[in-house]
Amino acid sequence: MNLVIVSNRVARAKPNEPITGGLAAALLPVVEKSGAIWVGSSGRVRDGNQKEPFAEIEALGTGALAMLDLPAAHYGGYYEGFANSALWPALHSRADLIRASEEDYASYREVNAFMARALLRFQNPDSMFWVQDYHFLALAAELRDLGITQPIGLFMHTPWPARAVIAGVPHHRALIEAMLAYDLVGFQTDEDCENFLSYAEADLELVVHNGVVISQHGRTRAEVFPIGIDPQKFAQLAAKAVTHPDVSRLRRSLNGEALAIGVDRLDYSKGLVNRIKAFDRMWTLQPQLKRAASLLQIATPSRGAIEAYGNLQSELARLVSDVNGIHGEADWTPIRYLNKGFGQAVLAGLYRTAQVGVVTPLQDGMNLVAKEYVAAQNPENPGVLVLSKYAGAANELDAALLVNPHDIDSMARAIATALSMPLPERRMRWEAMMTRLRNHTIQQWSADFIDALQESQVDAGPLGPIPAEPPTPSWPLRSVNGGVRYH
Ligand SMILES: O=P(O)(O)OC[C@H]1O[C@H](O[C@H]2O[C@H](CO)[C@@H](O)[C@H](O)[C@H]2O)[C@H](O)[C@@H](O)[C@@H]1O
Ligand SMILES: O=c1ccn([C@@H]2O[C@H](COP(=O)(O)OP(=O)(O)O)[C@@H](O)[C@H]2O)c(=O)[nH]1
């Protein structure tokens, strides 16, 4: 089987550099170990009508990374426009933030069609396509129009909202009908999957039976595959990171004070404003916790060209400054607020230094930071995870202190409880969460999806069983200066 993975964002394997977003962080080890080719945006755009899309290819473990220059005329309308100003807010149940023009929708469809054409170069008769996320809802339909008959699957990293919310997206019907050209659509949680099936049944008036939707494209199976991490890797990174200068400096600066940590993209879905308000409330209601506990909030800038993100960045900067102004002392800063990212080797050490991990999104597909925080803890003296019940991770990490991110007072109480939790209770909760993480790793996640995708067409019949022999990759690779380039 020749696996072709497709996503908007790809990650290069550089351990000392931050990875933006959980999708890229999760797929990196999958590609490194599976021998797949991973196709996505290079982050650059190119003018003109590219007959042959330009791709730079480099080796990535046993696999390869193909980075495409996307069309300059459509990139903004596709990425900042339809994908992140119409689909993203809808998928996170923020219908009030949906902004979309007809031009943005046209650009989104153009980029989906462009990607389909680009993929033709990387496939052979034994290929399987595994597409990631909301950027490419129409990609399977475009591939089918180009004559591709091999299995094509989609995994949605975000939540899938209630029917009424998705119906607020312009062209929702055409888009979701196109989505049914996928053989398999994967979701993070049961609720996401049920919402999708209920839209197909009630709004598209299609037959849905045992998780399969029957449409003009044939059969689409909808199934749940909660994404995992590599807990062993995080535990090892965290144990090693204690001697890293960035981590040692942080420890020394604490002078025995307890630390809570938050690590998020600067995104309105992450609930950052309510989190800062909860800390403000905690220090107001329990002034004995001043100097005794502070917050390190890493808020990595994200999608800064979009108005809602720019507004959030200004609002947060003001709020953090106000809270520090009210509660701070000449020699004590309550909130250390950073607008930058860290490589995972350092991040693991920061997680382990913190007695409390605060992960309080208003909506989140999974939230890998929650899982990484748990995996990075010292088993002898683990920290406590305070987790929003609206993160996909809450379905699995129910031994965390689960909170309602809209209820600021109760979040303040939960953080204070976490700070004073006795060791036996911390250990018991941590063990329960680690057992889950060890049994549902990132490798298991990808193996489960790939198995289900292979089976999806065996069930449907037209192609018969998938050949068992692994074929040689079809994409042309040539080594140039020690790297690998496409020609
Ligand atoms: O690529 P960006 O626009 O910078 O955004 C970063 C990624 O954000 C989202 O990540 C999601 O995937 C995680 C892993 O499954 C999941 O834990 C998290 O809840 C999701 O929000 C987005 O879905 C990705 O496409 C972006 O690459
Ligand atoms: O400074 C940072 C901040 C975050 N991350 C990584 O970015 C991912 C964030 O994924 P998550 O699912 O929590 O949220 P998303 O950003 O995808 O919505 C995690 O794997 C983090 O380790 C990182 O490498 N460096």
Q: What is the pLDDT of residues 222-250, one digit of tens each?
A: 999 999 999 999 999 999 998 999 999 99
Looking at the predicted structure, is the pLDDT value of residue 464 above 60?
no
Identify whether residues 313 and 189 lie together within a single domain.
no
139 versus 48: the higher-pLDDT residue is: 139
Instruction: Flag whether pLDDT at 485 surpasses 70.
Output: no
Tell which residue, 401, 383, 392, 408, has the closest CA to residue 272. 408
Task: Give the mean pLDDT of the chain.
Answer: 92
Structural domains counted in the chain = 2
**Do 191 and 208 reside in the same domain of the chain?**
yes
Q: Which of 157, 306, 359, 396 to mutate to test the pocket of ligand 1 (most atoms within 8 A of CB)?
A: 157
pLDDT tens readout for residues 414-454 = 999 999 999 999 999 999 999 999 999 999 999 999 999 99
For residue 15, what pLDDT is reported?
66
Grade residue 21 by pLDDT with cuts at 50, 70 and 90: confident
The answer to whether residue 16 scores a pLDDT higher than 80 is no
| Cα distances (angstroms) measured from residue 419 to each of 263, 306, 358, 399 | 18, 36, 11, 16
Question: Is the pTM of the predicted complex or chain greater than 0.90?
Answer: yes
| Same structural domain, 372 and 474 | no
- The token pair at 463 is 């192609």
Instruction: Judge if 450 and 346 occupy the same domain.
Output: no
334 pLDDT more than 60: yes
Q: What is the mean pLDDT of residues 249-253?
A: 96
- Using a pLDDT cut of 90, give the percent of the chain over it: 87
Ligand found nearest the CA of 155: 1
Residues 390 and 479 in one domain: no
pLDDT at residue number 459: 56
Point out the domain boundary residue: 438, 455, 478: 438
Centre of ligand 2 from the C-alpha of residue 367, in Å = 8
Ligand 2: list residues with CB < 6 Å: 18-19, 21-23, 25, 263, 265, 298, 300, 341-342, 344, 347, 366-369, 372
Least trusted range by pLDDT, from 13-17, 81-85, 174-178, 214-218: 13-17
- Is residue 157 annotated as a catalytic residue, yes or no? yes
The reported pLDDT for the residue numbered 472 is 43
Domain of residue 16, CATH code: 3.40.50.2000
Q: Is 327 in the active site?
A: no
Give the pLDDT band (50/70/90) at residue 480: very low
Is 155 in the same domain as 260?
no
**Do 387 and 304 fall into the same domain?**
yes
Cβ of 359 below 6 Å from ligand 1: no
Asked whether residue 421 falls in the same domain as residue 467, the answer is no
Lookup: tokens for 426? 């911390």
Residue closest by Cα to atom 20 of ligand 2: 22
Kindly name the residue from 92, 183, 364, 440 that is annotated as catalytic.
364
Q: Are residues 192 and 81 in the same domain?
A: yes
If asked whether residues 253 and 287 sit together in one domain, one would say yes
Query: Which domain does 415 fall in, by range?
Result: 231-438
ipTM more than 0.95? yes
* Residue 144 sits in the same domain as residue 242: no
Of all protein residues, the one whose alpha carbon is nearest to atom 15 of ligand 2 is 21
Q: Is the CB of 131 under 6 A from ligand 1?
A: no
How much is the average pLDDT of 96-107? Answer: 97
Q: Which atom of ligand 2 is nearest to the CA of 269?
A: 18
**248 and 289 share a domain?**
yes
